[in-house]
């Protein structure tokens, strides 16, 4: 018997991404460039953006860098400088740079499976992975969902284990009415093209700890002490190393992760619209989940406080034939998607980790394995027509298992 055709098969022409930078943002940038002698390298605009971001997020300090991946690497470098190497608990479902930064800085990644209702690491899986060598938990908030729990925060505090939050896909999401990224020792954000807001390329590291803030600033710019914010820090190094030119004292083997004034100007313009845009993104997610058939797809995600980055489509039961039907439907409708959601699914299946952990390690994470084969994400942005969302859910629901 032939498969009945889903309704509304007229193409939706739904791209995965749309540019967040609009004409108003570009006009702001043009106006800045039309000054008599606009500064282009990092300066006062970067500082203003950092201060505005900290105020919006609810942290004391922020350091603007050239990408979210740089934010990851910067954070792991400061962790290594602070505590030495050891183990860092990481998710198997995340972007490659999270795990890459752990490896680059000499830590051993310890993986904890995900909670299917948040796509972030399960609290119990994290706590079961803690050992005497654990230096930090590097927690990714996936696609706008919150992965924090009261139990996790309490246990990490009692065990004196640092929390680092990756919020690159979850700008503005909250836990207990407090923004994600303001709970951890450090937090990372990305301002890539398709994220909640964009600086073309860019990222941020935020913290409440002044010493960590100083290290981040120095590491960002070659490890130079002159990049320290506080005069007391610069004076201390100058007194300790009076044989060195104070303009060229390198406290750490740092990087060049600086961004520019132009990126910061865009960031300030984008930040003004972030909360409004996030509200629309969240409405889109609710409409999508509310109209999916829960017998066919997972709709029971914990959405309280979420700030959706991309619509989450997860087939309820592990069925490869049905997953193929879903992929064919999305292709027929012109709906761009990514299978495996964040980062392409289970990172332990990737060549760079197979070389380290072998070819079978991915099997130890069944929840992530389900997302790898039966999870998809679809573009979500403020100007996405609601009518397209309804048409897509109807077509998905009309597929028979």
> Which tokens go with 78?
């400061």
Q: For 316, what's the count of Cα atoms within 13 Å in the CB-facing half-sphere? A: 14
How far, in Å, CA of 30 to CA of 297, rounded?
Answer: 46
Confidence of residue 12 (pLDDT cuts 50, 70, 90): very high
Contact of 329 with 399, CB cutoff 8 Å: yes
pLDDT at 10: 85
Could you say which DSSP state residue 399 is in? Answer: S
Contact of 57 with 80, CB cutoff 8 Å: no
pTM of the model: 0.95
Q: Which residues pair with 337 in a beta bridge?
A: 378
Q: For 179, what's the count of Cα atoms within 13 Å in the CB-facing half-sphere? A: 21
pLDDT at 19: 86
Residues 112, 380, 200: CA angle, nearest 5 degrees: 85
Average of per-residue pLDDT across 268-285 = 97
pLDDT at 7: 53
In the sheet that holds 337-339, the strands lie side by side as: 310-314, 375-379, 337-339
pLDDT over 90, % of the chain: 95
How far, in Å, CA of 73 to CA of 349, rounded?
Answer: 22
- How does DSSP assign 79-105, residue by residue? HHHHH-S-EEEE-SBS-HHHHHHHHHT
Average of per-residue pLDDT across 61-71 = 98
pLDDT at 52 over 50: yes
pLDDT at 293: 98
Max CA-CA distance within the chain? Answer: 86
Q: For 30, what's the count of Cα atoms within 13 Å in the CB-facing half-sphere? A: 6
How far, in Å, CA of 233 to CA of 251, rounded?
Answer: 11
Q: pLDDT of 141-165, one tens digit each?
A: 999 999 999 999 999 999 999 999 9
pLDDT over 70, % of the chain: 98
pLDDT at 6: 56
How far, in Å, CA of 285 to CA of 291, rounded?
Answer: 10
> Which tokens go with 306?
């979420």
Confidence of residue 5 (pLDDT cuts 50, 70, 90): low
pLDDT at 342: 86
Backbone angles phi, psi at 90, to 5 degrees: -135, 160
CA dihedral 172, 176, 182, 185 (to 10 degrees): -140
pLDDT at 1: 40
Average of per-residue pLDDT across 99-127 = 98
By C-alpha distance, which of 189, 361, 171, 391 is closest to 287?
391
- Please, what is the average pLDDT of the chain? 96
How far, in Å, CA of 371 to CA of 120, rounded?
Answer: 12
Contact of 183 with 57, CB cutoff 8 Å: no
pLDDT at 194: 80
**Length of the chain as a residue count:** 401
Between the CA of residue 71 and those of 20, 101, 236, 255, what are the distances in Å?
21, 9, 27, 11
Contact of 126 with 112, CB cutoff 8 Å: yes
How far, in Å, CA of 169 to CA of 192, rounded?
Answer: 10
């Amino acid at each position: 018997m032939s498969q009945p055709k889903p309704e509304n098969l007229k193409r939706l022409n739904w791209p995965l991404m749309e540019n967040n930078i609009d004409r108003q943002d570009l006009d702001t940038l043009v106006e800045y460039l039309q000054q008599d002698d606009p500064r282009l390298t990092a300066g006062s605009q970067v500082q203003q953006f950092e201060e505005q971001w900290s105020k919006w997020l609810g942290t004391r300090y922020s350091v603007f860098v050239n990408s979210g991946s740089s934010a990851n690497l910067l954070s792991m470098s400061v962790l290594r400088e602070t505590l030495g190497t050891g183990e860092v608990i990481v998710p198997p479902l995340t972007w490659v740079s999270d795990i890459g930064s752990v490896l680059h800085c000499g830590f051993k990644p310890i993986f904890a499976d995900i909670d299917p209702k948040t796509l972030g690491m399960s609290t119990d899986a994290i706590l079961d992975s803690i050992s005497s060598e654990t230096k930090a938990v590097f927690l990714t908030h996936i696609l706008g969902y919150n992965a924090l729990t009261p139990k996790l925060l309490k246990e990490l505090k009692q065990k004196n284990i640092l929390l680092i939050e990756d919020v690159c896909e979850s700008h503005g999401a909250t836990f207990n009415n407090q923004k994600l990224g303001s709970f951890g020792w450090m937090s990372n954000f990305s301002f890539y093209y398709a994220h909640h807001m964009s600086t073309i390329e860019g990222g941020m590291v935020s913290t409440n700890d002044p010493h960590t803030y100083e290290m981040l600033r120095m590491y960002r710019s070659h490890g130079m002490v002159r990049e320290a914010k506080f005069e007391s820090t610069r004076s201390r190094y100058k007194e300790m190393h009076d044989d060195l030119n104070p303009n060229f004292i390198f406290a750490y083997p740092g990087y060049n992760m600086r961004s520019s004034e132009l990126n910061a100007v865009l960031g300030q313009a984008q930040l003004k619209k972030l909360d409004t845009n996030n509200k629309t993104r969240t409405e889109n997610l609710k409409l999508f989940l509310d109209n999916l058939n829960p017998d066919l797809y997972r709709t029971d995600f914990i959405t309280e406080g979420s700030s959706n980055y991309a619509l989450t489509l997860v087939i309820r039961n592990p069925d490869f034939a049905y997953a193929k039907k879903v992929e064919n439907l999305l292709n027929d409708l012109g709906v761009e998607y990514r299978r495996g959601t964040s980062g392409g699914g289970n990172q332990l299946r990737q060549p760079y980790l197979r070389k380290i952990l072998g070819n079978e390690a991915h099997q130890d994470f069944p929840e992530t394995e389900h997302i790898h084969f039966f999870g998809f994400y679809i573009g979500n942005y403020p100007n996405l027509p609601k009518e397209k969302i309804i048409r897509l859910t109807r077509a998905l629901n009309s597929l028979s298992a």
